[in-house]
Amino acid sequence: MLEDVKQILLVLSGKGGVGKSTVSTQLALTLKVRGYKVGLLDIDLCGPSVPYLLNLESQSVHQGPDGWVPVYLDNEQRLGVMSIGFLLSSRNDAVVWRGPKKTSMIKQFLEDVYWQDLDYLIIDTPPGTSDEHITVMENLRHVPQCSAILVTTPQAVAIEDVRKEITFCKKTGISIFGIIENMSGYVCPECSECTNIFSSGGGKSLSEIARVPFLGSIPIDPRVGMLAGQGKAAVSELPNCTTSKMFDELVRKLSKSPTNGNSETSANEDL
C-alpha cells in the first residue's frame, strides 16, 4: 500500500513527552497548508495522542473496498489520519497488550490502510526502541523513500535516550533527516525573561556529535500549546511565531530533499 507514497517520515525519540506527537501533527498540518497531500499514522498503541491533538476523538474508521479508510481532517481529504484511538470505544480504555499483539496491529496499519496517493506519510511513534519500532523498521526497510526525524528536549536526561535512538537508526539502516530541539527556552509572560527551563543547546550539540543535520529549535510557547485539541496549524493561526517559522523552514527543506519523489524532476534538471 505504501508504494504510492512519495516520502515517509518517522518521528522518533527515545524519550517520552518531548513533543513527538505535537511535532508530527504540526508538521502534517503545515504540509497540508502548503498544498501537499499528507497521511499521519499514529503507532503509539498504548498512548495515542494524535486523535486528541487534531480534535478527531469522536471519529471512527471505516472499511472500504480497498482497505481501511483513514479519518480525514478536511473535506478535500488532504490530511488523512490513522490511530488506534479511533478503534477504542471509550477514551479511557487502556490497550494492555504485549509485544506480539502490538506487532500485528502495526503490520495491519502499514498494510491495510488505503491512503491513496500521498506526498508525505508521517509516522508518529511511542518512546523507546522496542516492539513498535522494530516492526516499523522491518516493514519499511525496503522502502527507499523513508527517513527519520528525531525530536529531543535540551536536557541531558532526554539527550541520553535520544542517543540510543540514533544508534537504533544506524543499526537498522534508516537515514536520519535531522534533529529538532523542542521546549528550548520559555519567555516569562510577566518580565519577558527567557529561561532555558530544560537547559539549552543540547539538540545542537547532539547533532554535531552524531553528525546529523540540526533542523531547528522550538521554544515553549503557550499559544502553540493552546492549539492542541483544535487541529489548527500554527503556521496559519500564529504566522509570526518562532514555531511557525521553524515548521515552514522544515517543509522547505523536505521539499528540496533528494529522497522526495517531487524533486526528481528538478534534480534531473540540475544534471
Partner 1 sequence: MSKVPENAPQHCPGTASENAGKVSACAGCPNQNLCASGAASAPDPAIEIIKNRLANVKHKILIISGKGGVGKSTVTSLLGHALAAKNPDINVGILDADICGPSQPRVLGVRGEQVHNSGSGWSPVYVTDNLSVMSIGFLLGSPDDAVIWRGPKKNGMIKQFLSEVDWGDLDYLLIDTPPGTSDEHLSSVQYLSGAGLAGAVAVTTPQEVALLDVRKQLSFCATAGVPVLGLIENMALYICPNCKSQSEIFPATTGGVAQLSAELGAPVLGSLPLDPAAGARLRHWHHTRAP
Contact status: 133 vs partner 1 (CB under 8 A)? yes
Cα atoms in the Cβ-side hemisphere of radius 13 Å centred on 81: 32
CB nearer to partner 1: give 96 or 271.
96
Grid cell digits, residue 70: 483513514
Q: Given the complex with partner 1, which of 155 and 263 has the nearer CB atom?
A: 155
Residue from 42, 119, 124, 165 in contact with partner 1 (CB under 8 A): 165
Q: Is 131 in the site for partner 1 (CB under 8 A)?
A: yes
As a whole number of angstroms, the distance between CA 131 and CA 128 comes to 9
From first CA to last CA, the distance across the chain in angstroms is 32
- The alpha carbon of residue 106 and the mean position of all alpha carbons in its chain are separated, in whole angstroms, by 16
DSSP annotation of 238: S
Asked whether position 226 contacts partner 1 by CB under 8 A, the answer is yes
Q: Which is nearer to partner 1, 201 or 225 (CB)?
A: 225
SS3 state of residue 141: coil
Between CA 123 and CA 222 the distance in angstroms is: 25
Identified binder of partner 1 from the candidate list 4, 66, 74, 93, rule CB under 8 A: 93
Q: Say which residues have a Cβ less than 8 Å from residue 28's Cβ, sequence separation at least 6.
A: 38, 40, 79, 120, 122
Residues forming a β-bridge with 41: 82, 123
Among 39, 80, 127, 178, binds partner 1 (CB under 8 A): 127
Fill in the per-residue mask, 179 to 218: x = in contact with partner 1 (CB under 8 A), - = not in contact: -------x-xxxx-x-xxxxx-------------------
Q: Are 135 and 102 in contact (CB under 8 A)?
A: yes
User: At its nearest, how many Å lie between partner 1 and the CB of residue 42?
Assistant: 13
Percentages (nearest 5) of helix, strand, coil residues in the chain: 40, 20, 40
Q: Given the rule CB under 8 A, which of 61-69, 76-84, 90-98, 245-253 is the region that contacts partner 1?
A: 90-98
- Segment contacting partner 1 (CB under 8 A): 10-18, 173-181, 238-246, 254-262? 10-18
Interacting residues toward partner 1 by CB under 8 A: 14-18, 21, 46-47, 49, 52-53, 91-100, 102-103, 126-131, 133-134, 153, 155-158, 160-161, 163-168, 171-172, 186, 188-191, 193, 195-199, 220, 222, 225-226, 228-229
